[in-house]
């Protein structure tokens, strides 16, 4: 059977300690990684996508597991599990898209281990990459790990692995930001600015920075939803994620945001959603946004089902998501 590669596990109790442990491992020349729930990292380690010498455990950091609500912001420890977040009644009402996203990640059992921070940092996916070492050796390895070409787009110089986070599109649509704590101090970054157009270096978070908390603003009257397309009602990563948020004033749209997941190396903000602002959300206007969204989707042949179908159903999925918010 597949075995994990050998590694040293160093659990931390505080954010500061975690950053220090990471730093001291790096200083002694060992590759280190943070691990919380491990639901993404450990299977990948078994398949040798990662072989860190040191894992810094952040699951027991109490300050990263708390969920606090102020009147203006919900502050979610990045170590809160998806299960924990999915069962917050206030979040369900005010930040519906986030709760719906958490509920649809993997399986209920995995949701009890997997954390919000982990889902935001989840590795990009590609069915040329998420394979065992032996399989990848047979096909000749890819640019993301051990090889030098992209097998899905051999003419491309960059990696096309797919952003597969469910919570990232939801949090972008909700205007959230994250706090990154590194050896040089901490900084806040909007989730919308957290990702890069590169399947390998897909985040602006530096490896030694710990994503410690997520801050989601409260916006009066905001309604949001997250729709996930996948083959089965459980287990599967998204082949399309649609996060939409709309605020109405009377019968007109006062604010709108729309974000697609799993159609690119990073979540894709559909800016055309703002065209709705100031207007009644008529069927024609929603359809126009839906069609614009479909133009933004650039799936490739590296995930489940055909890329044509995955693109083709973007518009209908977006239209239905928007309809559910204005109906």
Residues that bind other proteins (CB under 8 A): 1-3, 6, 127, 130-132, 134-135, 137-139, 151, 231-236, 304-306, 308-309, 312-313, 316-317
In order of 117, 213, 302, the CA distances from 126 in angstroms are 21, 28, 5
CB of 130 to other proteins, least distance (A): 7
In this complex, which beta carbon is closest to other proteins, that of residue 90 or of residue 235?
235
8 Å CB contact between 113 and 81? yes
Cα 195 to Cα 204: distance, rounded to the nearest angstrom: 6
In this complex, which beta carbon is closest to other proteins, that of residue 88 or of residue 130?
130
E-assigned strand segments in 102-195 = 177-182, 185-190
CB of 305 to other proteins, least distance (A): 6
CB of 8 to other proteins, least distance (A): 15
CB of 51 to other proteins, least distance (A): 12
In this complex, which beta carbon is closest to other proteins, that of residue 38 or of residue 255?
38
| 8 sits in which H/E element | strand 8-11
Nearest to 38, CA basis, from 26, 25, 56: 56
CB of 266 to other proteins, least distance (A): 22
In this complex, which beta carbon is closest to other proteins, that of residue 139 or of residue 190?
139
In order of 45, 108, 117, the CA distances from 233 in angstroms are 26, 11, 23
User: Please, what sign has the CA dihedral across residues 313, 318, 324, 327?
Assistant: negative
Cα 22 to Cα 312: distance, rounded to the nearest angstrom: 44
CB of 106 to other proteins, least distance (A): 9
In this complex, which beta carbon is closest to other proteins, that of residue 44 or of residue 88?
44
Residue 16 CA from chain centroid, whole number: 24
In this complex, which beta carbon is closest to other proteins, that of residue 61 or of residue 105?
105
Task: Enumerate residues 6+ apart whose C-beta is below 8 A from 166.
Answer: 101, 102, 104, 105, 119, 226, 228, 238, 241, 261
CB of 136 to other proteins, least distance (A): 10
CB of 6 to other proteins, least distance (A): 7
Q: How many other CB atoms sit within 10 Å of the CB of residue 309?
A: 14
Secondary structure class of 271 (helix, strand, coil): helix
In this complex, which beta carbon is closest to other proteins, that of residue 275 or of residue 301?
301
Strand-strand pairing, 54-57 and 32-35: parallel
In this complex, which beta carbon is closest to other proteins, that of residue 135 or of residue 204?
135
Cα 131 to Cα 153: distance, rounded to the nearest angstrom: 18
């Amino acid at each position: 059977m597949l075995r994990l590669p050998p590694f040293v596990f160093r659990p931390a109790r505080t954010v500061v300690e975690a950053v220090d442990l990471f730093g001291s491992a790096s200083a002694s020349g060992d590759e280190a990684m943070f691990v919380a729930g491990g639901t993404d990292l450990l299977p990948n380690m078994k398949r040798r996508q990662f072989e860190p010498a040191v894992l810094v455990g952040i699951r027991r950091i109490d300050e990263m597991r708390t969920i606090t609500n102020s009147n203006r912001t919900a502050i979610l420890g990045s170590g809160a599990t998806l299960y924990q977040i999915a069962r917050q009644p206030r979040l369900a009402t005010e930040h519906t898209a986030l709760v719906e996203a958490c509920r649809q990640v993997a399986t209920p059992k995995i949701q009890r281990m997997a954390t919000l921070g982990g889902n935001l940092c989840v590795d990009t996916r590609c069915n040329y990459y998420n394979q065992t070492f032996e399989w990848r050796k047979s096909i000749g390895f890819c640019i993301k790990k051990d090889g030098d070409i992209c097998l899905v787009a051999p003419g491309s110089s960059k990696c096309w692995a797919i952003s597969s986070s469910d919570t990232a599109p939801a949090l972008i649509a909700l205007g959230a930001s994250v706090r990154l704590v590194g050896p040089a101090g901490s900084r806040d970054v909007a989730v919308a600015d957290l990702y890069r157009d590169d399947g390998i270096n897909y985040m602006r978070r530096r490896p030694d920075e710990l994503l410690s908390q997520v801050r989601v603003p409260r916006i009066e009257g905001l309604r949001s939803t997250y729709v996930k397309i996948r083959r089965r009602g459980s287990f599967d990563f998204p082949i399309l994620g649609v996060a939409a948020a709309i605020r109405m004033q009377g019968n007109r749209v006062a604010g709108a945001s729309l974000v697609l997941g799993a159609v690119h190396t990073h979540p894709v903000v559909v800016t055309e959603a703002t065209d709705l602002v100031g207007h009644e959300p008529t069927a024609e206007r929603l359809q126009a946004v839906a069609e614009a969204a479909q133009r933004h989707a650039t799936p490739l042949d590296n995930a489940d089902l055909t890329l044509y179908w995955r693109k083709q159903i973007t518009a209908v999925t977006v239209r239905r998501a928007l309809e559910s918010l204005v109906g």
